[in-house]
């Protein structure tokens, strides 16, 4: 419809009254047709619809898009829509976007740098008002170049020179792993994606290492399982990890997906229970026995913050880039609270056993 | 960029060679800039980028969109992206769309008819190549009217006069519930959304009733829990259902979401185990004890079929509307196989007990 408005050379968008005049009916009748109310003759309805098309009339909700002359569409580029974290993030963006009169184009990268470039180029060819993206790989120079054409906000990962909405991956991981150590775990496995596929995983690994360091526990690379984006790859890695000659008593995963794979491996392989903390909350986490303890980095909040920032940048394209670091919450549900071999109560039992006690 | 191509009056899209000529560099250099390879001086890069902008050059992947002169965007309108069923469906549509050179705009209705109208009107204002939609309510006349402007394919629900990709809600529900009856259940609860929010729920309820009928079991409305779209509403309904003076020994849910709410209620309320079949598979269904038995109506397949049909309609807009009914698969994982009070083995035990047997 914007095309037609341009063609007729109108300055202001068509109004209800224009449609009514064009169709030769009352404003009330036009409103009835738009709202699909009863009591309009088929002939009249046809005439009104014809007038709506001719004038490129668009109801209130679309007025803003006509005023700016363009289509108010923003792009959202994420790893995968089928990943609940991103589905929820996109959902939050779309919810807010509708209120701001914006439509959302989605595109997924499948954490593949080549596909990311293809998707970004595709979006660059469309006249977007802005872009929200979870960049893949360190080399997304393309995103920076796009920034000269439209506002760009990175989510989940940050990029020098671009606006970013992130969480404190390092700090949240460090705190969670410190908790496992405090509860008596010494051999703690790390499960995450490799850097090529998800750099957040790398920062969460760094937090894990820091916690070990702080506690004077030597870093053991054989306890670190990192794989590509497929669940099968992660499954094999975790399976190997649990078959370790000195297996971990606790697992820390860099994603909810990895956590569910761990649950799968433990069950399928008949492995003894291990403590588990997931970086990333998930829908059914509370329904397991014990419930799965999570670091909740609320994708809804990330999505809302990203859209808010994007709206600011649309209003002021020359604004200096800022990085917003959102809080995370640790949700203790039991799996992260299982005591390790060095837990105070276990140590007492071990001492008792060594002394020929009740064991 | 299409705008600029039109402005320069070009018939054919710009080629690598045009960009090279405009920038006064070799084709190899242009290619280096596009592929972000090293070895290009900043000045040269700037010149190439300027030429790319001036000529509206778009790499291969976008050539089709330029050839047709429009933006190759399709709209996908679904209940909620945060619902895993729809997230997976949209993901499949997007995966296929990228291959067909199409971008995807998403919009959610939150199963609200007013919001649906608003979203459809918004999309109608954009020059889409086609639309995939899960219609809300019976009165979506608007969708039929949109059909005169662009191809429309309904998914998950069908509409007279429009192309639809659906599954056999009635038949799959009937078969699953017949299975519960066969395994000895007589009091079977139904949990689903109300018609205003999800009409598929109504068709699944009809299949449930048919199975009861076929077995000569009277339909008991007090075993039917239907609620709005929020999990809280469903929770309260299921809680009341399980507090029934003669509680159901099995539950059949019209959605995966409802099934997880049932798991929640049973756990929170400390209710005895009930048999459970979910219409709709979900990611972690196999990780519960017992695993959750599901009717799998594969959203990936629905999404792919919808995009395929939409592509056909884009090629032949006058094609007669067809309804495609996809198969479903019953996935037995244990929860739907729990025996009811009338199961052969239980009947034997009951008879033994009545006869002063081993119980």
For A254-323, give the DSSP string: SSHHHHHHHHHHHHHHTPPP-EEEEES--TTGGGSSSBPEEEE--HHHHHHHHHHHHHHHHH-TTPPP-E
For testing contact with chain A, the best of B59, B81, B129, B141 (most A CBs within 10 A): B81
User: What is the predicted pLDDT for the residue at B164?
Assistant: 95
Residues of B in contact with A107 (CB under 8 A): 94, 98, 103-104
User: What is the predicted pLDDT for the residue at B8?
Assistant: 29
User: What is the predicted pLDDT for the residue at A345?
Assistant: 73
Mean pLDDT over A62-89 rounds to 74
Contact check, Cβ <8 Å, B121/A87: no
Measured between alpha carbons, how far is A31 from B96 in angstroms, rounded to an integer?
Answer: 39
Mean pLDDT over A20-36 rounds to 80
Contact check, Cβ <8 Å, B105/A73: yes
Measured between alpha carbons, how far is B339 from B343 in angstroms, rounded to an integer?
Answer: 6
Please say if the pLDDT value at position A8 is more than 70: no
pTM over 0.90: no
Please say if the pLDDT value at position A68 is more than 70: no
Summarize pLDDT for A96-119 with one digit per residue, the tens: 998 888 989 999 998 888 888 888
What per-residue string of b and e applies to B72-91 under the rule 16 or more CB within 10 Å gives b? bbbbbbbbbbbbbbbbbbbb
The residue ranges of DSSP E strands in chain A, in sequence order, are 73-78, 103-108, 130-133, 152-155, 163-167, 188-193, 224-227, 250-253, 275-279, 293-296, 323-326, 329-331
Closest partner residue to B84 among A84, A90, A118, by Cβ? Answer: A84
Residues of A in contact with B91 (CB under 8 A): 80-82, 108
Measured between alpha carbons, how far is A240 from B163 in angstroms, rounded to an integer?
Answer: 49
Please say if the pLDDT value at position A263 is more than 90: yes
User: What is the predicted pLDDT for the residue at B199?
Assistant: 80
Computed over every residue of chain A, the mean pLDDT equals: 85
User: What is the predicted pLDDT for the residue at A65?
Assistant: 36
Please say if the pLDDT value at position A66 is more than 70: no
Contact check, Cβ <8 Å, A62/B121: yes
Summarize pLDDT for A222-255 with one digit per residue, the tens: 999 998 767 788 899 999 999 999 999 999 999 9
Closest partner residue to A3 among B73, B94, B127, by Cβ? Answer: B127
Summarize pLDDT for A325-349 with one digit per residue, the tens: 999 999 999 999 999 999 877 666 6
Measure CA of the first residue to CA of the last residue in chain A; give whole Å: 81
Measured between alpha carbons, how far is B269 from B249 in angstroms, rounded to an integer?
Answer: 15
| Chain A residue with minimum CA distance to B81 | A91
Task: Collect the ranges in chain B with pLDDT lower than 70.
Answer: 1-14, 35-37, 53-71, 137-140, 195-197, 229, 346-359
Contact check, Cβ <8 Å, B106/A94: yes
Select the more confidently predicted residue: B230 or A142: A142
Please say if the pLDDT value at position A160 is more than 90: no
User: What is the predicted pLDDT for the residue at A3?
Assistant: 29
Confidence of residue A276 (pLDDT cuts 50, 70, 90): very high
Contact check, Cβ <8 Å, A264/B283: no
């Amino acid at each position: 419809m914007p095309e037609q408005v341009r063609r007729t050379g109108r300055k202001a968008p068509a109004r209800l009254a224009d449609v009514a005049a064009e169709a030769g009916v009352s404003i009330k009748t036009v409103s009835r047709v738009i709202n699909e109310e009863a009591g309009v003759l088929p002939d009249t309805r046809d005439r009104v619809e014809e007038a709506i098309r001719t004038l490129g009339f668009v109801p209130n909700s679309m007025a803003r898009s006509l005023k700016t002359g363009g289509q108010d569409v923003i792009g959202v580029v994420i790893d995968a829509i089928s990943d609940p974290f991103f589905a929820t993030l996109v959902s939050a963006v779309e919810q807010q976007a509708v209120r701001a009169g914006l439509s959302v184009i989605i595109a997924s990268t499948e954490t593949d740098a080549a596909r990311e470039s293809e998707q970004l180029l595709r979006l660059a060819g469309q006249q977007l008002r802005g872009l929200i993206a979870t960049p893949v790989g360190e080399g997304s120079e393309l995103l920076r170049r796009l920034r000269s054409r439209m506002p760009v906000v990175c989510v989940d990962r940050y990029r020098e020179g671009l606006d970013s909405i992130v969480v404190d991956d390092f700090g949240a991981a460090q705190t969670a792993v410190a908790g496992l150590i405090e509860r008596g775990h010494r051999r703690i496995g790390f499960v995450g994606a490799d850097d090529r596929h998800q750099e957040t995983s790398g920062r969460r690994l760094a937090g894990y290492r820091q916690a070990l360091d702080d506690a004077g526990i030597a870093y053991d690379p054989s306890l670190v399982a990192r794989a590509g984006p497929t669940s099968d790859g992660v499954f094999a890695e975790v399976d190997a990890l649990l078959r370790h000659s000195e297996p971990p008593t606790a697992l820390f995963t860099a994603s909810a997906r990895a956590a569910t794979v761990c649950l799968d491996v433990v069950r399928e392989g008949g492995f003894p229970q291990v403590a588990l903390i997931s970086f990333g909350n998930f829908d059914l986490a509370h329904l397991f026995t014990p419930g799965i303890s999570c670091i909740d980095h609320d994708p809804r909040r990330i999505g809302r913050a990203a859209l808010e920032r994007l709206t600011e940048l649309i209003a002021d394209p020359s604004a200096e880039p800022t990085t917003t670091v959102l809080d995370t919450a640790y949700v203790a549900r039991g799996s992260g609270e299982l005591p390790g071999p060095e837990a105070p109560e276990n140590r007492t039992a071990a001492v008792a056993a060594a002394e020929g006690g009740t064991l």
